[in-house]
Structure formats: structure tokens, C-alpha cells
Amino acid sequence: MILTPQTLDQIFPIAKHWLLGFVPATAQPLASAILSVVPILIAFPLLFAITTWLERKGLGRMQNRLGPNRTGPFGLLQPIADAVKSLTKEDIVPITADHVVHFLAPLVLVAAAFLAYAVLPIGRNMVLVNMNAGVLFFFAIGSTVELSVFMAGWSSRSKYSLLGAMRAVAQMISYEIPMVLATIVIIMQAGSLSTVSIVDKQAAYTGIFPHWFVFTPWGFMGFALFMIAATAESNRSPFDLPEGESEIIAGYYIEYSGFKFALFFLGEYLGMFATSGLAITLFLGGWSAPFSFLTWIPSYVWFFLKLLTLIAAFIWIRGTLPRLRMDQLMNLAWKYVLPMALINMLVAGIWHFMPTGPARWLVCTALLAAPCILLSLALKRKKRFQVRTYRFAE
Amino acid sequence: MVGEGILKGLAETARNFFGSYVSKQRLTTLQYPEERLPQIEAARSFPFLVYDGADPQPGLRCVACQICEKECPPKCILIKKSADKKPDAVGKPQFYPAVFDIDISVCMSCQICVEVCPFDAIKMDVDYDLPTADRFGGLLLDKHQLAKSNQYYHQIHPTEAASVDATLAAAHAKVDAKAKVAADARAAADARPNPAPQPQPQPAGGESQ
């Protein structure tokens, strides 16, 4: 068999098909499901392990430190050491905790995070379920994360946990709205809720340039808003108020130790990869190559390259920005991201009905840039505080 | 411009990220067990007992006066005074510590024991590499572990040790001079035809002063 770019691209579907040939016909649906799910259950936790190492190394270098460098060459075996450590640690459950809910919370988080991968097209013909309401499914599953976070905070029966969970739920609900609204422009333009057909729409080229949605004014704005909301959704710096190590110690997972804590960590990172994967699917052309002459590289390679790029961006942001205050967080969500998402929808509609040409570029860019700058200036305006007078203290 | 601060911050972290690969000056990490900083002369960790001469236990300057034990704020010193007297490094009979323990898990390195010691017998060490698998017994140092030579003291705190030696030498010279005067007086008394028992308390009193 000759290894053409086509076969290399389709190597996983072909391998699955070949393996299914050995299974009796009655067991084929089950075997097919297992063969599709197991690689996802292996690949993304592996990516999680690599990301923890990348993150610790990257943050270390940004702070002029070395990062982990004792376990293996360049500290590459650090994730294994961490896994062994968290497996051998004592699992402490507070005596007053609601044991069942306390036990279920990390499982719900990880299960929800894994379910989201069902609709992500990792490569050409490489999606677990080609659902016609894929994007909707993704957000429905994504909202389960709030449930597990609140389960963890509530069942621990600790003040810090509850505070962290309340912060987390307030933040996640606030940012879920702009996140969904930012994706609506894509659904409007693609005319489909299926992630597969959204990627197919973007996998075409004009000259050498792809038809990615991010290369349009509304797509770019939607991508920026989506990434802000995605950072907040995955509770990462600068939106890491729910964890807030310096204020509420670790928020909703303060009462977790050992492997349950590791599961929370895993769930959080899996959620981050899933939202990044959705951003890639919706805005960055999914598995399609960035230039037409690079299409010979297998599609799944492009997907993971884009994912790693977004992870690097997340790490870079985390190393740069300090944590927001609660009021700044809410102001950003409701006074900036949400109005911009609504305006963006309007602009996407205008784009759709205007004739192609430089005129619609100009109009749409102006329509987005003006409110963006005005809103930012309004948010930046100095607030005038009253001088506080004390009646009794002086 | 909006977002300028964020871009500046991103540029700064990127500069740090790449700079730490090229510039040794940026990456100040010291790989501790393999690399060490040069020792600072004024550094101090925990107290040790100084001995003169070659043999640690008879050479200890400590005479078990227990001032340091009483002054120690966290009460980490335990001294048991000996019942008998033994000759010290210069051959003078002295009390000595039968037990001298310092619990360095309690010690707060305040150096008050060093300040109050009238015999310059206890000084501060610089050794900070004191890990042990036994957190109780391993951190309770007895007088054998605490005894370190005057040469070692010169090695870790040269300036301080030199001045201590000078003071001690001056004190010794003073005692010697007194002893010499007393000996001369005794010799003069011996020369006179006086009753024998009289000169004997005199040298004893002269020596004790």
C-alpha cells in the first residue's frame, strides 16, 4: 500500500474500519463506539499531562525561573511524578460534608468535559457524533460544569468553598451568555448548527488563503469575544477569581485532596481544551490547513497544532495579567462583551446582505471599531468617588 | 489607546521568556545542592561549642555556668553541670558540662547565648545543611556533635575569631602576670624565716582572684 497524503489523512478512519472487520456484525455498533471513544480518552488526558508541563515551564521562563527540571530530561516526567503523588495522597473528606455529592462533583466535571469532545471534528471524517445540533449540544454539556462546581462548593460545607462556588457560578453564567452570542454569528453565516458542516464551509480557498471565519470583521470580533468568554469559562487567569489562591485559598476545591483534586484539575483543563477546540472549529477553520499548498499535511495535525497555539496563548495570558476584581469582571461581561456580541450579530447580518467588495469590509469594520472604542473609553473613564465622611470615628 | 497596557504586558513577558534562554543574567536560579553561593562571613545558623587544642571534650571552653541556658528565649539549651572538676585546655581544673544539648528545631538563631557567654565558649555556626530523617532525635544535638575546633571557628568567621583570640590572650596574660606576682611574693615569703602554714592560703587566694 502506498502512503499517499490521502491515506495518511484518513489513517485513523481506515484503521477503525479494518479493526471492525474482525468483529461479528452484532457487536459492531458497540465496538465502533469503543474504538472511537478510547482514542479521545487517551489523547486528551495525554495532552493535559503535556500542558501542565508546558505551563509550568512557560510560566517559569516568563518569571525568569527554570520551572520543573529534576524529573527526567527537562523535567519531562513531571506529570508522571504528579500523578503518582496525587494517587498516593490521603483522600480527606470533611466530616460534615455531604459525602455522596462531595464524591460525585469531580466525576460530573470530568464526565461533562469528556462529553463535549463528542461533537468536535478532530480531523476530516474524524468526529465522534455528527450531530445536526452539535454546537447546541456543546453548550448544553458545557453548562453542566457549573453544576459540578456548585456541587463541590456546596457539599464541602466550608465557607471558602461556598464563596468560591458562588463566585464561579456567577462568573460562568455571566460569560456563558456572550459566549453563546459570539457563536451565533457563525451559525448565521454557516446556516448550520453542525460542527462538521461549519468546518466544511471554511475548508475552501481563495487563491492560497482559506475561508476561515476569523478573517472577516465580524468573525474576528466574534473570535476575540469568544476567547475572552472562554478564558472566563475555564476559570483561568485573569478570571481565576473562583480559585483565588490568595483570597479564598482554592475556592470550591479547597476540601479536595489526592486524586479527586487531580480530577478537578483534569476536568478544568479538559474544559479549556474543549472550548479551545470549539473556537478552532467555529473560527479557525477546524482541521483545515492555513494555506492551500499545505493541505498535504494530515488534518488532525492541523487541529492539534491550532490547539497547542491556543494553549500557548492561554499560558502567555496567564503569565501576564493579574486577577480582576469582582466588579471589573462583571463590568467587562455585562458592559463590554455582551453589547459587543449583540452589535456583532447586527454586523454579521449587514455583511450577509451587502454585496461582496471592499465597501462591506469598510462598513462592517467601522461599525465594529466605533462601538468597541467607545465602550472601552466609557469603561476606562475615571469614576468620581465621594469623600467618605465618618460620623463617629473621628 | 485601548488595550495598550495588555499589549505592553504581553511584550514584557515575551521578553522575559526568550531572554531567560539567552541571558545568564536574567536567569538567576541557583541549582542548590550542586551549586552554592559563596559563604558570607556574617552568616549564622545555629550555635556550636568551641574547643581549644586537639581533643574536643577536655578542650571545651564551656565551664557549665548555665548562663546561656537561663538566657535562651525559646529554652532550647539543656546543660547538666558535672560533679567533679577536670583540667581544661590550659590545665586548670574546671567544671565541665556533663550534658550539653541544643534542640535546633526549637532554636531561633537569635545569638543571645553567644552574647552572654563570658568564656567565648559558644559561637554561631554557618552550616545550614542539616536535613535528617528523624525530626526529633536528629535535630537534638549533643555536646559531641556541637563541639567544633577553634580552627573551624577561624575558618568560618576569621575576623571575629581573631578578635576573640586576642581578648582571650590578653586575659590569659593578665592571669599569668598575677600568678607571677603571687609566685614572687611566695618566693619572698619562703625566703623569710616564718611559720610554714601561713603562705599556703595566700597563693590559693591569689590564684582564685
What pLDDT digit, counting tens, does each position of A323-351 carry?
A: 888 888 888 888 889 999 999 999 988 88
CB contact under 8 A, A66 and B14: no
| Same domain (yes/no): A174, A34 | no
Q: Which of A244-248, B145-149, B183-187 has the lowest mean pLDDT?
A: A244-248
Chain A residues inside the 8 Å CB shell of B14? 316
Q: Is residue A382 part of a domain?
A: no
Per-residue confidence (pLDDT) for residue B101, from 0 to 100:
92
The verdict on A11 touching B (C-beta cutoff 8 Å) is: no
Chain A residues inside the 8 Å CB shell of B20? 61, 64-65
Q: Is the pLDDT of residue B20 over 80?
A: yes
Q: Given pLDDT bands bounded at 50, 70 and 90, which one contains residue A311?
A: very high
The verdict on A378 touching B (C-beta cutoff 8 Å) is: no
Q: Is the pLDDT of residue A242 over 90?
A: no
HEC readout, A44-57: HHHHHHHHHHHHHH
Per-residue confidence (pLDDT) for residue A13, from 0 to 100:
80
Q: Is the pLDDT of residue B206 over 50?
A: no
Over residues B156-168, the mean pLDDT reads 89
Query: What's the structural domain count of chain A?
Result: 2
Nearest CA in chain B to A374: B2
Q: Is residue A173 part of a domain?
A: yes
Per-residue confidence (pLDDT) for residue A305, from 0 to 100:
92
- Please compute, for residue B121, the number of CA atoms within 13 A of its CA located in the half-sphere on the CB side: 25
| Same domain (yes/no): A118, A229 | yes
The verdict on A63 touching B (C-beta cutoff 8 Å) is: yes
| Same domain (yes/no): A53, A136 | no
| Same domain (yes/no): A257, A304 | yes
Q: Of A39, A61, A85, at which residue does a domain stop?
A: A85
Contacts (Cβ under 8 Å, ≥6 apart) of B172: B90
| Same domain (yes/no): A240, A270 | yes
Q: Which of B131-135, B161-165, B190-194 has the lowest mean pLDDT?
A: B190-194
3 state DSSP class of A205: strand
Q: Which of A49-58, A127-136, A235-244, A298-307 has the lowest mean pLDDT?
A: A235-244
Per-residue confidence (pLDDT) for residue B193, from 0 to 100:
62
User: Which has more pLDDT, B2 or A190?
Assistant: A190
CB contact under 8 A, A64 and B28: yes
Q: Is the pLDDT of residue A226 over 90?
A: yes
| Same domain (yes/no): A35, A93 | no
- Structural domain span for residue A43: 28-85
Q: Is the pLDDT of residue A312 over 90?
A: yes
Q: Is the pLDDT of residue B73 over 90?
A: yes
Per-residue confidence (pLDDT) for residue B106, from 0 to 100:
92
Per-residue confidence (pLDDT) for residue B207, from 0 to 100:
44
CB contact under 8 A, A61 and B9: no
The alpha carbon dihedral of A344, A350, A351, A352 has a sign of: positive
Which three three-digit cell numbers place residue B104?
A: 535546633
Per-residue confidence (pLDDT) for residue A203, from 0 to 100:
83
CB contact under 8 A, A61 and B3: no
Strand ranges of the sheet holding B122-124, from the earlier edge strand across to the other edge: B122-124, B47-51, B147-149
Nearest CA in chain A to B8: A320
Q: Which of A131-135, A279-283, B173-177 has the lowest mean pLDDT?
A: B173-177
Per-residue confidence (pLDDT) for residue B197, from 0 to 100:
52
Chain A residues inside the 8 Å CB shell of B28? 64
For residues B49 and B62, the answer to whether their CB atoms sit within 8 Å is yes
For residues B47, B52, B55, B57, the Cα torsion angle rounded to the nearest 10 degrees is -50
| Same domain (yes/no): A76, A191 | no
Q: Is the pLDDT of residue B201 over 70?
A: no
| Same domain (yes/no): A159, A258 | yes
Q: Given pLDDT bands bounded at 50, 70 and 90, which one contains residue A125?
A: confident
Nearest CA in chain A to B32: A70
Q: Is residue A306 part of a domain?
A: yes
Answer whether 0.80 is exceeded by the pTM: no
DSSP letters of A334-376?
A: IIIIHHHHHHHHHHHHHHHHSPSSHHHHHHHHHHHHHHHHHHH
With residues binned 3-state (H G I as helix, E B as strand, rest as coil), the percentages for chain B, rounded to 5, are 45, 15, 45
| Same domain (yes/no): A269, A183 | yes
Per-residue confidence (pLDDT) for residue A393, from 0 to 100:
67
DSSP letters of B81-133?
A: E-SS-EE-TTS-EE--EEEEEEETTT-----HHHHH-TTS-EEE--------S
| Same domain (yes/no): A48, A162 | no
Which three three-digit cell numbers place residue B22?
A: 539567552
Q: Of A39, A55, A85, at which residue does a domain stop?
A: A85
Nearest CA in chain B to A317: B10
Optimal mutation site among A56, A59, A61, A69, interface B, most CBs of chain B within 10 A: A61
Helices A258-282 and A299-320: crossing angle, nearest 10°? 120
Q: Is residue A329 part of a domain?
A: yes
Write the residue in B3, B6, B16 that is nearest to A63 by C-beta.
B16
For residues A133, A139, A144, A147, the Cα torsion angle rounded to the nearest 10 degrees is -140
Q: Is residue A384 part of a domain?
A: no
Write the residue in A61, A321, A380 that is nearest to B9 by C-beta.
A321
Per-residue confidence (pLDDT) for residue A285, from 0 to 100:
84
Write the residue in A61, A320, A380 that is nearest to B10 by C-beta.
A320
| Same domain (yes/no): A313, A367 | yes
Q: Is the pLDDT of residue A264 over 80?
A: yes
Per-residue confidence (pLDDT) for residue B89, from 0 to 100:
61
Closest residue by Cα to residue A141 from A166, A169, A176, A165: A176
Q: Is residue A393 part of a domain?
A: no
Over residues A368-378, the mean pLDDT reads 84
Q: Is residue A13 part of a domain?
A: no
Q: Is residue A193 part of a domain?
A: yes
| Same domain (yes/no): A116, A77 | no
Q: Percent of chain A scored above 70 by pLDDT?
A: 98
Q: What are the residues facing B86 on neighbouring strands?
A: B94
Residue with cell 464563596: A163
Per-residue confidence (pLDDT) for residue A358, from 0 to 100:
85
Nearest CA in chain B to A238: B6
Per-residue confidence (pLDDT) for residue A394, from 0 to 100:
60
Q: Of A68, A85, A102, at which residue does a domain stop?
A: A85
Cβ-count burial of B105 within 10 angstroms (0-12 exposed, 13-18 middle, 19+ buried)? middle
Average predicted confidence (pLDDT) for chain A: 86
Q: Is the pLDDT of residue A56 over 80?
A: yes
Write the residue in A66, A316, A373 that is nearest to B27 by C-beta.
A66
Rounded to a whole number of angstroms, the distance from the CA of B16 to the nearest CA of chain A is 5
3 state DSSP class of B40: coil
Per-residue confidence (pLDDT) for residue A270, from 0 to 100:
92
Per-residue confidence (pLDDT) for residue B48, from 0 to 100:
92
Over residues A247-273, the mean pLDDT reads 85
